[in-house]
Amino acid sequence: MKLQGKVVLITGAGRGIGRGIALRLAADGADVVINDVNMENANKVAKEIQALGRKSFAVVADVTNSSQVNAMFDKVAAEFGKLDVMINNAGIAHVKAVVEMAEEDWDRVMTVNTKGMFLCAQAAAKQMIKQMSGKIINCASIAGHIGFGLLAHYTASKYAVVGFTQALAKELGSFGITVNAYCPGIVGTDMWELVDVEMGKYLGLPKGETVKKFCNDLIVLGGKIETPEDVACLVSYLASSDADYMTGQSINICGGIVMS
């Protein structure tokens, strides 16, 4: 129970990687606040955490809306009086060739993946500076270390996450706050099912074949596709006191697809 007594807020935790992280940190002893834009999904995860004997509640907020973000953090402070770990997990992906990309496509991906991260990290930092302690953990991607065709706007957003993580770590270190990021690869979630289908249209591949093509680069466990639980293992470490001396890092957890 290495997170016993800790309070964690996770954005985009109603399903996929966020849900996997939430359940793992609850199993580690944390009380976990579940954010999502879908209240039904968020409530389901909160109930799963409560069933593990931890405190949890769901809060709907659009991470790109500063008023909603600030209200969410105010609610966490009112309920628990502190925030130990903030996980910027919310994000979206979108497949489109650059020459076909609309301005709105670029703006949507960048707004959710970068502005949303900024607003939540800012709100978390204000609370953690008062405490002189805390951990901010951002969701980057292997696309924050190497570019992927047909995902240029997603790639740009994740490079931004890596840079922001480094800069914020330098700003907050003197307050006892660490800032790190986790960089998943090809994870078996609804997001990657959508990416698979949309990329398949460009590449002339049937459903399932694009993911298999990416997974040819996996070098662990016979090409086993990554699960949310695999990602959660790394986040569990970053959220714990074991990672107190680590900050400004963006760590790949991708089965060896990218090594940098």
Residue 202 bears catalytic tag: no
Dist. CA 214–CA 33, nearest whole Å: 33
Q: Which two tokens stand for residue 116?
A: 């949303």
* Known catalytic membership, residue 154: yes
CA within 13 Å, CB half, 13: 34
- The catalytic residue among 6, 96, 135, 158 is 158
Joined together, the tokens standing for residue 140 give 């980057």
**Active-site entry in 6, 154, 159, 182:** 154
Place of tokens 């662990």: 220
Q: What DSSP assignment string belongs to the chain?
A: -TTTT-EEEETT-SSHHHHHHHHHHHHTT-EEEEEES-HHHHHHHHHHHHHTT--EEEEE--TT-HHHHHHHHHHHHHHHS--SEEEE---------GGG--HHHHHHHHIIIIIHHHHHHHHHHHHHHHHT-EEEEEE--GGGTS--TT-HHHHHHHHHHHHHHHHHHHHHGGGTEEEEEEEE-SB-SHHHHHHHHHHHHHHT--TTHHHHHHHTT--SGGGPPB-HHHHHHHHHHHHSGGGTT--S-EEEESTTS---
Q: What are the catalytic residues?
A: 154, 158
